[in-house]
């Protein structure tokens, strides 16, 4: 009886362990102290400061890398009205994009504050009346829905 319970418990634990691997909370190497937009721009981040985008060419290079199957990674730092950074890290391994959303420094994030990550199969562009909007596609969880980047033309 105990041997049977041990097998059942081991099986359930294994299923739980593998089931939790699709979306992991990972430690991201984003700045832990105030990170001003000037510093982010100098560091090569793609910065969205209230609609004014810096280092846009770096984002365009990343999209091209994904289209060509070339490994690449970027950090997009978006600043809230209050000046708090929200980090969107995109790491492409040549096959899939690991997307990490980090709003841990957003003072108004409330109970949704933290770091979340998912894997996505691609990034898609869609033209609209304001310009081009980019969204992730084929994500393993709804964390991918938090990525929305607009390039105004």
In this structure, is residue 70 part of a structural domain? yes
Residue 13 phi/psi, 5-degree rounding, is -65, -40
Spatial separation of the C-alpha atoms in residues 48 and 136, rounded to whole Å: 18
Total structural domains in the chain? 1
In this structure, is residue 7 part of a structural domain? no
Residue 96 phi/psi, 5-degree rounding, is -140, 160
Parent domain of 56: 23-119
Q: The pTM is what?
A: 0.79
In this structure, is residue 150 part of a structural domain? no
Q: What is the pLDDT of residues 13-63, one digit of tens each?
A: 333 333 444 444 444 578 887 789 999 999 999 999 998 999 999 999 999
In this structure, is residue 93 part of a structural domain? yes
Q: What is the pLDDT of residues 73-123, one digit of tens each?
A: 999 999 999 999 999 999 999 999 999 999 999 989 988 899 999 999 999
In this structure, is residue 52 part of a structural domain? yes
In this structure, is residue 13 part of a structural domain? no
């Amino acid at each position: 009886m105990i041997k049977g319970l041990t097998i059942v418990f081991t099986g359930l634990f294994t299923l739980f362990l593998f089931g939790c691997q699709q979306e992991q909370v990972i430690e991201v190497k984003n700045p832990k102290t105030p990170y001003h937009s000037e510093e982010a721009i100098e560091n090569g981040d793609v910065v969205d400061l209230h609609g004014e985008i810096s280092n846009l060419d770096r984002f365009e290079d990343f999209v091209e890398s994904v289209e060509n199957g070339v490994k690449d990674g970027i950090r997009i730092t978006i600043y809230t009205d209050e000046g708090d950074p929200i980090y969107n890290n995109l790491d492409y391994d040549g096959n899939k994009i690991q997307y990490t959303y980090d709003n841990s420094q957003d003072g108004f994030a409330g109970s949704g504050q933290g770091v979340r990550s998912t894997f996505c199969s691609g990034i898609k562009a869609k033209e609209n009346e304001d310009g081009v909007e980019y969204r992730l596609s084929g994500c393993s969880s709804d964390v991918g829905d938090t990525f929305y980047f607009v390039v105004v033309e």
